[in-house]
Amino acid sequence: MKNVKIVVLGAGPAGMSAAWRLSQLGYPVTVLERDSAVGGMGKTIAVGKYAVDYGPHTFHIRETDESRAIHEAIKPFFGDDPLILTRGTRVLLRGKEYVYPLEMLQVLTGVSPLLSARIVFDYLVATLKSALAPAKKEHSFEEWGVRNLGRTLYDLCFGIYSARVWGLPTSQISSKQAQRVAKLNLKNIILRTLGVRADPATYFTKYMYPRKGISVLYESMAAAIRRAGNCILLESPVVRLERDGDRIARVVYKQHGREQTIDCDGVLSTLPLPSLVSMMTPELPPSVAQHASKLRYRSLKLIYIALARAQLTDYHWVYLLDEQYRVNRMSEQKNVSGDMVPPDRTILCIELSCWRDEPMWNASDEEIYRIALRDLLKMGYGVTEDEVEDYYVTDIPTAYPVYELNFEDHLIPVLEGVHAVPNLLTLGRHGLFLNNSMDDNVLLGMKVADHIAADGFNSQAWLSEMLAFMNLRFAGK
């Protein structure tokens, strides 16, 4: 074993991948996790007699060298005979289903002729304006959308839905939020209409999935970490990072209500940045905490509804774009893996986003279920209340980093503030405030381990690498 003791904070995809790779490289590692299981948001939970993911979680396969390298490295962790799925997602728009990512021609032929004409007219005007006007940097998601898609298509397909998901008018959301849809430009629409796959990084069509749920992936990694002689402590929330001078010397966590301490040479954190900043003892400069308090997370309620029928749809999930819905998405676990749900039953997961300081967050499970049921009955799949056998409500407090306008003015000082601690590196969705997916976070876990092996805890070099990485993702690459 190498002589550098590393503590990893959080056992989600980023933390587990980092700990696994460091274990392979011979480092002594301890992972501290608040939850009673590994996987973070990528975990499988039991709901009555069903196994379901904590919100639908499939592992993306992109046609890029980076993605191929990740899959090659972690394929053994997917268990026997993993599923390779073809993306089966839809949107419900004006009462009709459309393939997602949206196909422009399908939308145009699906909506009323009048609406279709408005979409085309607005789109052409927007395209002309974009071509003629000097390239101006869009600031808000709305500006980006109207400029690239035209007002009608933008409102219909992105504006209404995004305002509900993020809980803000899209004029107050940064255009960086467009990272996921950034490829829906004229060039791509033409290429896709001609049947040419435009950008493999964005338009992936395949997923990989362990037959018994996404947890298998991270539990298998946990087994490899333990086989290497390293340690994962569950139900062990981190409470304090104690510094001697600049460097973190000890990590304090709670177990069975009592504080415990681990000495360390370096720390990798996947925790939400505001929590991380609040744990630092002595404190970081007050401006870092002030900026951290401006980084907001959107929370999710997950409502699982078990139905006394074999199947509701053929889809992995369906996005609900219309104004009439309060919930964002409905997914059906058995369509991802039939091994997780009995053949004669199905279970749905419905997602509803809210802020933690609004009454919805504290509403009773029954009230939340009623909202989800009301929307489910509206979806047009013929569900009746009599079919509901059971329901279960849980939540994800920090589901989505929210990109408010100019959020970087707060994010960058926070990232600089925490990386001023020379033996602390942050990564993952919360450690970077980056709305990314599991494959990205596995990549970051592997990258950080290789960075330490090559260069030790060089927090400034890691920060530069991460800022460059984030800029690529913000640009939709």
Ligand X SMILES: Cc1cc2nc3c(=O)[nH]c(=O)nc-3n(C[C@H](O)[C@H](O)[C@H](O)COP(=O)(O)OP(=O)(O)OC[C@H]3O[C@@H](n4cnc5c(N)ncnc54)[C@H](O)[C@@H]3O)c2cc1C
Residues of this chain that bind ligand X (CB under 6 A): 9-15, 32-35, 40-42, 55-60, 237-238, 270-271, 275, 300, 351, 396, 399, 428-430, 436-439, 441
Residue with smaller CB distance to ligand X, 153 or 321 = 321
CB 271 within 8 A of CB 285: no
Q: How far is the CB of 272 from ligand X (least distance, A)?
A: 7
Q: How far is the CB of 444 from ligand X (least distance, A)?
A: 8
CB 149 within 8 A of CB 101: no
What is the spatial distance between Cα 324 and Cα 377, in angstroms, rounded to a whole number? 12
Can you read off the two tokens belonging to residue 411?
């994010």
Q: How far is the CB of 12 from ligand X (least distance, A)?
A: 2
Of the chain, the end-to-end C-alpha distance in Å amounts to 37
Q: How many CA atoms lie within 13 A of 284 on its CB side?
A: 29
Residue with smaller CB distance to ligand X, 154 or 207 = 207
CB 345 within 8 A of CB 306: yes
In terms of Cα–Cα distance, which of 368, 427, 458 is closest to 21?
427
Which residues are within 8 A (CB) of 375 and not within 5 positions of it... i.e. 6 or more apart? 320, 325, 326, 327, 350
Residue with smaller CB distance to ligand X, 57 or 183 = 57
Indicate the DSSP class of residue 162.
H
Residue with smaller CB distance to ligand X, 441 or 459 = 441
Residue with smaller CB distance to ligand X, 10 or 167 = 10
Q: Is 137 helix (H, G, I), strand (E, B) or coil?
A: coil
The helix (H) or strand (E) run that includes residue 266 is strand 266-269
Residue with smaller CB distance to ligand X, 199 or 439 = 439
Q: How far is the CB of 239 from ligand X (least distance, A)?
A: 7
Q: Is 473 helix (H, G, I), strand (E, B) or coil?
A: helix
Q: How far is the CB of 87 from ligand X (least distance, A)?
A: 10
Q: How far is the CB of 10 from ligand X (least distance, A)?
A: 3
Residue with smaller CB distance to ligand X, 150 or 428 = 428
Indicate the DSSP class of residue 103.
P
Residue with smaller CB distance to ligand X, 59 or 403 = 59
Instruction: For tokens 């590393």, name the residue.
Output: 6
Q: Is 25 helix (H, G, I), strand (E, B) or coil?
A: coil
Q: How far is the CB of 265 from ligand X (least distance, A)?
A: 19
Residue with smaller CB distance to ligand X, 149 or 336 = 336
Indicate the DSSP class of residue 391.
E
In terms of Cα–Cα distance, which of 347, 67, 63, 57 is closest to 217?
57
Q: How far is the CB of 241 from ligand X (least distance, A)?
A: 10
Q: How far is the CB of 269 from ligand X (least distance, A)?
A: 9
Tell me the sheet residues that pair with 173.
Answer: 404
Q: Is 267 helix (H, G, I), strand (E, B) or coil?
A: strand
Angle between helices 438-455 and 65-74 (to 10 degrees): 80
Pairing outcome for strands 258-263 and 247-255: antiparallel
Residue with smaller CB distance to ligand X, 341 or 448 = 448
Q: How far is the CB of 182 from ligand X (least distance, A)?
A: 18
